Amino acid sequence: MPDLGLFPLQLVVFPGERLPLHIFEPRYLELIAECRERDEEFGILLADEADIHEVGTRAAVVEVLEQLPDGRLNIIVEGRERFQVTRLTTGRSFRTAAVEPFLDEPDPADPAAAANALRLLQALATAAGVEVDLPQPDSPTLSFEVAARVELALDDEQELLELRSERVRLDRLAELLAEAADQTRLAREAHERAHTNGKLPHPPPLP
């Protein structure tokens, strides 16, 4: 199997997730051009202070939004299958690695857990005052579809990406969603109290 070109970033991409990327470094412009020309995928890995993680997501360019005169690109990529780095390789301007698929164990989620995750996602959206498009509850990758709709801490997102069980992922995701909903609710209440100096609003005069 040929080496996979790597694009380390300070983000986690879940399978099925689409997101915009701005490409400006020459080595990554070279990588993206090669992938477009050959209709190939590249690997996105979370990069942090300790280097790059070993488990990431293959990504494909699905749309070029803009190509600027100086060569920079604004593109849309889609997350595909997960992979694990087995050995870093050399010889290119960008990082490359020998990789192998990172597959789930046959451990599907309970329908009640799927329903709970969707309920918590809706609760978080309500607490944040935004609308959310809920995925189908019977999707085999429901955990990734839900996680892609929420902004979590990078460490938590990487943890979800590295779990090999849909059942365990949904249970962990439910914990994270509940925590996020509570924090969002408290933040909104604090913001509203700030506008009244922490006091209840004055009642209207009696008629």
- The pLDDT tens digits of the residues spanning 28-41 come to 999 999 999 999 99
201 is a domain residue? no
97 is a domain residue? yes
Domain match, 123 and 173 both: yes
**Res. 146: pLDDT tops 70:** yes
Q: Tell which of 44, 67, 101 closes a domain.
A: 101
pLDDT tens for residues 153-189?
Answer: 999 999 999 999 999 999 999 999 999 888 877 666 6
State the Cα–Cα distance between residues 159 and 55, nearest whole angstrom. 10
State the Cα–Cα distance between residues 9 and 154, nearest whole angstrom. 11
204 is a domain residue? no
**Res. 196: pLDDT tops 80:** no
Residue 24: CATH number of its domain: 2.30.130.40
- Beta bridge partners, 84, equal 55, 100
**Confidence at residue 183, expressed as pLDDT on a 0 to 100 scale:** 84
89 is a domain residue? yes
pLDDT tens for residues 86-97?
Answer: 999 999 999 999
Q: Which amino acid is at 102?
A: F
Q: Tell which of 80, 101, 122 closes a domain.
A: 101
Domain match, 76 and 127 both: no
**Confidence at residue 82, expressed as pLDDT on a 0 to 100 scale:** 98
State which residues form the domain around 131: 111-194
**Confidence at residue 197, expressed as pLDDT on a 0 to 100 scale:** 58
Q: What percent of the chain has pLDDT over 70?
A: 89
Report the number of distinct structural domains present in the chain.
2
pLDDT tens for residues 51-74?
Answer: 899 999 999 999 999 999 999 999
127 is a domain residue? yes
CB atoms within 10 A of CB 158: 18
Domain match, 95 and 115 both: no
Domain match, 13 and 55 both: yes
**Confidence at residue 177, expressed as pLDDT on a 0 to 100 scale:** 94
Sole residue written with tokens 């879940």: 14
Question: Stretch 195-203: mean pLDDT, rounded?
Answer: 53
Domain match, 71 and 136 both: no
**Res. 201: pLDDT tops 70:** no
Q: How high is the mean pLDDT of the chain?
A: 91
**Res. 194: pLDDT tops 70:** no
Q: Within 13 Å and on the Cβ side, how many CA atoms surround 194?
A: 6
φ/ψ bin of 21: left (φ > 0), alpha (ψ from -120 to 50), beta (otherwise): beta
**Res. 202: pLDDT tops 70:** no
pTM: 0.87
Domain match, 86 and 153 both: no
Beta strands, E only, 10-122: 18-23, 42-48, 51-52, 55-67, 73-89, 96-101
What is the DSSP code (8-state) at residue 17? -
**Confidence at residue 98, expressed as pLDDT on a 0 to 100 scale:** 97
Q: Tell which of 51, 75, 101 closes a domain.
A: 101
**pLDDT grade, residue 190 (50/70/90)?**
low
Give the β-pairing of 96-101 and 42-48.
unpaired
Q: Pick the closest to residue 173 from 107, 111, 131, 116 (CA basis).
A: 116
Domain match, 150 and 61 both: no
